[in-house]
Amino acid sequence: MLSRHIQKRRRWLFTLVVLLSTIAPYARSAATLLLEEPYGKMGFFTATGHAGVYLSGVCADSPVILRRCAPGELGAVLSRYDGIAGYNWIATPLIPYLYAVERPEDVPLFADAKMVAFLRDRYRRKYLEALAPDLQSGETPGGNWYELVGSSYDRAIYGFEIETTPAQDAALIQKYNSSPNRSHFHLVSNNCADFAKDLINFYYPHSLHRSLVADVGMTTPKQMAKRLLKFSTRHPELWFSRFVFPQVPGTMPRSTTVHGVVESFLKSKKYIVPSAIANPIFAGCVAAVYVGTGAGHFDPARNALVFDVGSEPELPLSREDRRAYQKELQRLLAETHPETSTQHVEKAWARLQSRAKAELDEGGRPILQMQVGEQQVRVGASTGNVLSSDAPPQLVQQLLEARLQMELRRKMQPHITESEVVRDWRLLQQAMAASENDVQLTARSSPHALEPVSLRERGGNNP
């Protein structure tokens, strides 16, 4: 029988091996196929989403010039969009591509359309003027440039990451920097998924190809993800992983499930129902293709780690833990807001934020400038400044309550980690402690000066 000391030492060594095996892959050079969910009108009509490639060892010297990454840099996302200064591809650093900010601590806790537009335009004016210059009036231009920054406000993004080498990265940099970069975008034959396919095939020739059956010959993001997954199973010697970049909590419309061409047609009532009535044989063939290709069995979230901005990817919060946190939050909200339904906390904050103006503080972090009575206050909007602004603690508390309520929503469950929930819970506890102290101090001088904002707006305790 092993002594207690030896058992302890073995457990320590086992923990160290597991830790090193977890950290080591993320220090490697890798290419990640990004499968991005559809949103807005394109999500309604096509549901095929978007594709790009994140290269952890390749950085952007400019949006159209690549270089090797320096130590500590996170790499860049390369993607093809239609109508951006005539270029075939654009490279954007990872954090700006996801969040339209340069530091992880500056990502807003709760995003709405005004905050997202502000952050995107700020980044454009600083780095993308050559691609999307101001209008003659000095206002923000239209066009697709906005898709280069802040993608995680619009949709969830799934990553399929495969090992590469520094030599492969160097060869890709040389090729892309020396080749013409002129757009020949075509939705059917030269789209974003075609670009991603060609880039991955540069690293691993013939690994990806379009499907003549499932997508009627069109290259789609979902098909490329499925092909890369199959390629990785045939090459177990290559390190491979899956993760998800969650959509940022807030009032931006939630993205929808990504589909292939035939799958999109079959699952859309506006297409399949008239087809079934007009030509049942055709509709039956579509269903047969869907079943035969196994399109409905591919779940991009399966076994995916969650990318937590500023740290390593982690396992998603378990269903049981989510329910436990959700019950505790409901109990806390019922005690804190006995005058209103706990279901309305998120909507109440959304209404407040919709009337605020997005700005930056002295450190360049996003804030919300709000009118509280006759006073202008500034509410820190990110983890880096949410507790350091001059706003009444009650406002900070409402922001964090809304964030947590959305994070713990059932449909968001696979897209949140325990580390994020614990961090936000601690921030909420700190805000509540500050709020209690503020109420006690204020009550001594003016018992009605700091009523909760939601009550003041409704005119007292009236529902």
Which comes out higher in pLDDT, residue 16 or 252? Answer: 252
Determine what percent of the chain is predicted with pLDDT higher than 70: 76
Does the structure show a pLDDT above 70 at 428?
Answer: yes
SS3 111: strand
Read off the tokens for 363.
């450190």
Every domain of the chain and the residues it spans: 11-256+300-306, 259-296, 319-458
Q: Where are the alpha helices (DSSP H) in 39-93?
A: 40-45
Read off the tokens for 405.
């309520």
What is Dmax (Cα atoms) for the chain?
81
Average pLDDT score over residue span 387-406: 91
For residue 135, CA distances in Å to 125, 131, 272 come to 12, 12, 43
What is the structure's pLDDT at 452? 40
Q: How many angstroms separate the first and last alpha carbons of the chain?
A: 69
Does the structure show a pLDDT above 60 at 298?
Answer: yes
3-state helix, strand, coil in the chain (%, to 5): 50, 15, 35
Lowest-pLDDT range, 170-179, 198-207, 445-454? Answer: 445-454
Which comes out higher in pLDDT, residue 284 or 378? Answer: 378
CB atoms within 10 A of CB 14: 10
Q: Indicate the residue type of 362.
A: E
Does the structure show a pLDDT above 50 at 419?
Answer: yes
Q: Give tens-digit pLDDT for 361-379.
A: 999 999 999 988 888 899 9
What is the structure's pLDDT at 373? 80
| Among 122, 124, 127, 126, CA closest to 143 | 124
The torsion region of residue 75 among left (phi > 0), alpha (psi -120 to 50) and beta comes to: left
Does the structure show a pLDDT above 80 at 446?
Answer: no
Average pLDDT score over residue span 115-139: 94
What is the structure's pLDDT at 374? 82
Does the structure show a pLDDT above 60 at 301?
Answer: yes
What is the structure's pLDDT at 338? 74
**Mean of all residue pLDDT scores within the chain:** 82
Q: What is the 3-state secondary structure (H, E, C) of 277-341?
A: HHCHHHHHHHHHHHHHHCHHHCCCCCCCEECCCCCCCECCCCHHHHHHHHHHHHHHHHHHCCCCC
Q: Where are the alpha helices (DSSP H) in 109-220?
A: 113-127, 151-154, 166-178, 192-203
Q: Indicate the residue type of 195.
A: F
| Among 167, 86, 111, CA closest to 350 | 111
What is the structure's pLDDT at 372? 82
Does the structure show a pLDDT above 80 at 271?
Answer: no
What is the structure's pLDDT at 8? 41
DSSP 30-45: EEEEEEE---HHHHHH
CA–CA separation, 6 and 12 (whole Å): 10
